[in-house]
Structure 1
Amino acid sequence: MKNRWLIAAILFFTMLTTTTQAADRLQIHYTLSFPEAQAHYTDVEMDIAGITGPAIDLKMAVWTPGSYLVREFARNIESVSAEVNGQPLRIAKINKNTWHVELNGATTVKVRYRIYCFEISVRTPFVDTRHGFISSAAVFIYPAGGLDQPATISIKPYAGWTTVSTSLDMVGDDQFTLASPNYDILFDSPIEVGTQDVTHFNVDGVKYELAMCLGGNYDKPRLVKDLTKMVQEETAIFGENPNHRYVFIVHNYNKSGGGLEHLSSTVLGATRNGYTDEATYERFLSLCAHEHFHLWNVKRLRPFVLGPFNYEQENYTTDLWIAEGFTNYYDNLVVHRMALYTQQNYLGQIGGDINNIENAPGNLVQPVADASFDAWIKYYRPNENSPNATVSYYAKGSVAAMMLDLEIIHDSQGQYSLDDVMSYTYNEFYKKQQRGYTDAEFKQALEKFAGKNLDEFYSRYIYGTAAIDYDRYLGYAGFKLVDELAESNTPALGISITAVNARPVISSVQRGSAAWVDGLNVNDEIVAIDGETFTELSAMLAYKTVGQQVKVTVIRDGQHIVLPVTLKRNATRRYRILSIETPTAQQMAVRNVWLKQSN
């Protein structure tokens, strides 16, 4: 009981001091060092001056913008201490991401802590003797109520590290001393420290930096040429580039991918020796185009809840299908406009998104608006049943963008396209009104250029799970969707199998499949089919027929079970987009606007 009263008192006092702290103009300085880089540690000293209250609370963000999952960054913090003039101060952790420091009349405090940095991703810090990647939201503790406070950062590099890459401004000419005007900027500005290969180039007055980390077989002149063209294509959509400087940080690993957008930079994962493979290189450029497009779509043109951020909890929106899905649509479209994707290749990329959607039964279960809202608990935490219950807001948002683009081009007789919607909303909400948009406002912008009400579209495809009429929208441009497996009648169980200690174990069961209906389970080890020792699934079903019953022997929880399963037709679809035989002049006009390429 005494402990409960003590905690309650501390929490109450925290509430009283938070307002004061927010009003204080603090002087905050961080020093980062890496004395045990080989063990993946970053050591942080945080010096705070100008405190007027009797105590200060310090917090750690629980997530990083652009990656919609509470990741609990405080779990990697060790050895937190506080002192003033060499004398220790009482510091107590009062919840999962907050430390309360009693100042005993002091107006300054030095806080020390260590962070374990050993998760390779674009959103988490990683340190070894080769380089240090500082994902800022996961590294810098901040004063409660003080997100508007400026800060400076000094970096003491590990032996041999010579270079810093970040969108933060240097203090003077010292690349190892940086400044941030507030924590929103700091948390949106990752820092790379090491021996990265840095190239600078200029695109229409905007300074760009390409930092290639950990080697690779890239062709630097070609990369600069293609990135320049990509930047120009995307800038043309919005009418301006809002940056003075932008940084690409590329981590080249043996096999990697993915990216995370930031206000004036991005972090990308790439395959170190994949640049000489044309398909891999084109995918990398598409990734660059995706993250760079975010500097407009989501970092500035954004759903109203996505900034200013609450770094301590989820920030919900139903519009990730726009923020991520539209960006997913434009990344491949931009590469096509650069004349790097042929028309056939580009249509193949769209076909890939359609296959992704239509081969996931969850497409008919979860509306894409709900998928956006539930990203925090579902998209980043998939399980064996996720394909049956969820849809990707990336893929379905991308297809929705394509449908809307074609609808606008068709209905306006080529006068407008989705480009006009993006430019209009960027100027209206980011520049003119200086705020995010609501669901209704973005819909109204789409309607403005479509020239009609889109209630039915939203009801069917955004808030509903109706089957998409692909041929209607593709037909505007003289294309059709063809399922290459439509005539097949091969039997299937509807399962995926993974080898676990060389044993065939079911890893997923498709909704509505034979396995689903007749009770095969994830984690069942398949022993035999019709009494024959299991070898390879397709081979064992090769001479079976749809509607035939087979007996599947499995080991479940240590017990042998024999299940009668009636085979169903393989429901897998393989779609391709093809031109109709004789497109009309109107269809070709839409096609030419949609699939235009630069000279």
Structure 2
Amino acid sequence: MKKIQLTVIFSLIFFSMTTTVNAADNTQISYTVTFPEAQAHYADVEMKITGLKQSTIELKMPVWTPGSYLVREFARNIESLTVKGDGKPVAALKIRKNIWQVNTEGLSGIVVKYRVYAFEFSVRTSFIDASHAFLSSPDIFIYPGDMLHAASTIHIVPYKGWKTVSTSLEKVNGDSFTRYAPDYDILFDSPIEVGNQDVFGFDADGVKYEIAMVGGGTYNKERMIKDMPKIVAEEVAIFGENPNKHYTFIVHNAFKSGGGLEHLSSTTLGGSRDAYATEGGYLSFLSLAAHEHFHLWNVKRLRPIALGPFDYDNENYTTNLWIAEGFTAYYQDIIVHRTGLYSRENYLNVLAEDINQLENTPGAKVQTLAQSSYDAWIKAYRPNENSVNTGISYYTKGAIVALLMDLEIINDTKGKNSLDDVMRYMYNEYYKEKKRGYTDAEFKQAVEKFAGKNLDDFYAKYINGLDPVDFNSYLAYAGYKLTDELAESNYPALGITQVAGTNRLIVAGVLRGGSAWVSGINVNDEIVAIDDEALPATGSPIAGKQVGDKIEVTVVRDGLTLKLPVTLLKDTKVKYKIDELPNATPEQLTVRKKWLTLK
């Protein structure tokens, strides 16, 4: 599209609730965002600050976005930053990777202008093209470093043809393109979608929900409007209240997409454009929506103590992401089951898949659950070819720990209490009463309160230790057991994963302790022959081989051909399903009914 220039005169509306920290109470801040070159993925931002009293001010860009635990260096996308005071240029000295220092001696206000390049399509980063703009606020808005509690207004000037804004920020005087943020924590927790998204919604007990669909898709509006309130109702029932007046789902549909990022009064979801047409695809979307909406309470309000107030300049470390994310992952599927959208069989199959994922991860013997949370900043969002051997997902194992705790509480109290009671108590005690986050010890005490027992051994094994999970002991509480469908198999495996999308066998990963690991096959090796025989066009390259067979694998590594002797080891992969125990006792049926909320 051709370049268009848009100019507006924006009249700032001052709100009496505006506050600042270490700055004058009458400081006013406004932003105007334009898109003169949307087709080239740019936003132009003008920031006005008036009512200044201090002699210097630091302008900062966050280095990360809450909910996504990786320093992403958002300042790298900033260019052409200039500052003017009283209409004259003012020097902006960059004193750190994300901080500009400005001398404001004698100035009552400044105007900051800069450009942001936004072309990273994800739920946590901004993306702009000629069709729409997704503004993930932490990588768009520079803020005055000592004024995190200051209010601001944001005026959006749309690119040509854009007609709609979707965000949880409040409108100013009914103007959809002008929004108000009472402080920067809320601004940075409120993404903004601008374009021609398909907007529809529903009401749930007086709370207005908006769904903004971007990118088209095979979704059925009527079905979503019918089903999503059921998810909302089940989650509200756990915590006892919905703390919002309105909530926004921003959904980015693409050929292949996924993931989500939670916010205080909204969420951004990634959806596959054509997946809604299948039952499995639609239910997966509902599970994702349930996950991110559950965060409305768990982590956005009930949170580990390290996650707020936020430090936007540095990592915010906690060992409790297994609660913030893992428990949410547990609830996302059991919530869908409680609505009746997942059958009991469907839910148990999803649960078995989580168990399989953990049990087939060699890193489960290396990294504890608490460590996986703490190291999220350096590992979880920076996986490499060896990650599966050295770590675990705090989502997956955290969900499994939530399952174990839920069954433990229900069993120990003969169906009186459940994990729901823990979550409700923690929400009321720490978010509403104490108005702060919780420590690891405080969460443990709450679980013990409702289980009626000490959980030192449980924590030592499954949270701070590497003990294998005793699934059958816990599932037996509800009259279930795990069955490994591969238990009697005795097939060999190379112990590799391969690069997808090619008809060549190029090694993408080598599993710890497997045949390839022991024999020295490397990632990026191309396997071209077994025992000097070319690989078959389809099927396994070791078809017909037995455990213990000694073979010769020919690989091409860095342009050189190598022959490697390999002794084939047994495939140790498990494939669990969850079966009912025969002749379940009344006590087991009581636990089962409480756990699965059967009618």
The match for 2:553 is 552
CA distance in 1, matches of 2:384, 2:201: 42
CA distance in 1, matches of 2:330, 2:21: 46
Moved more, 402-411 or 492-501: 492-501
The match for 1:379 is 380
The match for 1:418 is 419
CA shift, 1:104, in A, is: 5.0
The match for 1:299 is 300
Moved more, 447-456 or 493-502: 493-502
| Aligned partner letter, 2:129 | D
The match for 2:443 is 442
CA distance in 1, matches of 2:363, 2:428: 36
The match for 2:283 is 282
2:61 counterpart of 1:92: no
| Aligned partner letter, 2:238 | I
| Aligned partner letter, 1:529 | I
Q: Residues 319 and 439 of structure 1 are in contact (CA less than 8 Å); yes or no, is this contact kept in structure 2?
A: yes
- Partner SS state of residue 277, structure 2: coil
CA shift, 1:221, in A, is: 1.8
- Partner SS state of residue 188, structure 1: coil
The match for 1:191 is 192
CA distance in 1, matches of 2:425, 2:412: 18
CA distance in 2, matches of 1:435, 1:189: 21
Moved more, 224-233 or 195-204: 195-204
For 1:416-495, list aligned pairs within 5 A: 416-495=417-496
CA distance change for structure 1 residues 176 and 77 in 2, over 3 Å: closer, same or farther? same
For 1:267-278, list aligned pairs within 5 A: 267-278=268-279
Instruction: Return 5+ residue gaps in structure 1 as ranges.
Output: 1-18
The match for 1:14 is none
- Partner SS state of residue 420, structure 1: helix
CA shift, 1:272, in A, is: 1.6
Note the alpha carbon deviations across 1:386-444, whole angstroms, 9 max, x for none.
Answer: 00000110000001101110111011000000000000110011111111000000000
CA distance change for structure 1 residues 498 and 154 in 2, over 3 Å: closer, same or farther? same
The match for 1:163 is 164
CA shift, 1:534, in A, is: 2.9
Q: Residues 24 and 53 of structure 2 are in contact (CA less than 8 Å); yes or no, is this contact kept in structure 1?
A: no
| Aligned partner letter, 1:302 | R
CA distance change for structure 1 residues 217 and 499 in 2, over 3 Å: closer, same or farther? closer
The match for 2:224 is 223
CA shift, 1:128, in A, is: 1.0
CA shift, 1:95, in A, is: 1.3
Note the alpha carbon deviations across 1:50-97, whole angstroms, 9 max, x for none.
Answer: 111222110000000000000000111111011124321111212110
Instruction: Return 5+ residue gaps in structure 2 as ranges.
Output: 1-19
CA shift, 1:362, in A, is: 0.3
CA distance in 2, matches of 1:39, 1:535: 46
Moved more, 211-220 or 400-409: 211-220
| Aligned partner letter, 1:248 | F
The match for 2:45 is 44
| Aligned partner letter, 1:572 | K
- Partner SS state of residue 476, structure 1: helix
CA shift, 1:498, in A, is: 1.6
The match for 1:135 is 136
- Partner SS state of residue 312, structure 2: coil
CA shift, 1:271, in A, is: 1.4
Q: Residues 78 and 115 of structure 1 are in contact (CA less than 8 Å); yes or no, is this contact kept in structure 2?
A: yes
The match for 1:251 is 252
2:317 counterpart of 1:316: yes
CA distance change for structure 1 residues 159 and 597 in 2, over 3 Å: closer, same or farther? farther
Note the alpha carbon deviations across 1:133-185, whole angstroms, 9 max, x for none.
Answer: 11001100000111111101111011111111111111111111111110000
Identity %: 59
CA distance in 2, matches of 1:69, 1:286: 24
CA shift, 1:21, in A, is: 5.0
CA distance change for structure 1 residues 597 and 74 in 2, over 3 Å: closer, same or farther? farther
CA distance in 1, matches of 2:72, 2:464: 28
- Partner SS state of residue 257, structure 1: coil
CA distance in 2, matches of 1:97, 1:423: 39
Moved more, 174-183 or 272-281: 272-281
CA distance in 1, matches of 2:359, 2:127: 37
The match for 2:9 is none
Moved more, 353-362 or 529-538: 529-538
- Partner SS state of residue 112, structure 1: strand
For 1:102-117, list aligned pairs within 5 A: 102-103=103-104, 105-117=106-118
CA shift, 1:502, in A, is: 5.3
Q: Residues 21 and 144 of structure 1 are in contact (CA less than 8 Å); yes or no, is this contact kept in structure 2?
A: no
| Aligned partner letter, 2:410 | I
Q: Residues 44 and 112 of structure 1 are in contact (CA less than 8 Å); yes or no, is this contact kept in structure 2?
A: yes
Note the alpha carbon deviations across 1:111-140, whole angstroms, 9 max, x for none.
Answer: 100001111101101111111111001100
Note the alpha carbon deviations across 1:328-364, whole angstroms, 9 max, x for none.
Answer: 0000000000001111100011111101100000011
CA shift, 1:287, in A, is: 0.4
Note the alpha carbon deviations across 1:528-554, whole angstroms, 9 max, x for none.
Answer: 211112346853311211011111111
CA shift, 1:229, in A, is: 0.8
CA shift, 1:201, in A, is: 2.1
CA distance in 2, matches of 1:501, 1:164: 41
2:567 counterpart of 1:569: no
Q: Residues 77 and 116 of structure 2 are in contact (CA less than 8 Å); yes or no, is this contact kept in structure 1?
A: yes
CA shift, 1:23, in A, is: 5.5
CA distance in 2, matches of 1:559, 1:499: 22
CA distance in 1, matches of 2:506, 2:427: 50
Task: Count matched residues.
Answer: 580
The match for 2:55 is 54
Q: Residues 24 and 51 of structure 1 are in contact (CA less than 8 Å); yes or no, is this contact kept in structure 2?
A: no
| Aligned partner letter, 1:439 | D
The match for 2:146 is 145
The match for 1:3 is none
Q: Residues 369 and 463 of structure 1 are in contact (CA less than 8 Å); yes or no, is this contact kept in structure 2?
A: yes
CA distance in 2, matches of 1:499, 1:227: 35
| Aligned partner letter, 1:86 | G
For normalisation by structure 1, the TM-score amounts to 0.95
- Partner SS state of residue 541, structure 1: coil
For 1:195-206, list aligned pairs within 5 A: 195-206=196-207
CA shift, 1:571, in A, is: 1.2
CA distance change for structure 1 residues 282 and 194 in 2, over 3 Å: closer, same or farther? same
CA distance in 2, matches of 1:430, 1:100: 36
For 1:13-92, list aligned pairs within 5 A: 22=23, 25-92=26-93
CA distance in 2, matches of 1:205, 1:180: 23
- Partner SS state of residue 550, structure 1: strand
Q: Residues 25 and 149 of structure 1 are in contact (CA less than 8 Å); yes or no, is this contact kept in structure 2?
A: no
Q: Residues 230 and 334 of structure 1 are in contact (CA less than 8 Å); yes or no, is this contact kept in structure 2?
A: yes
RMSD: 1.5
2:403 counterpart of 1:408: no
For normalisation by structure 2, the TM-score amounts to 0.95
| Aligned partner letter, 2:571 | N
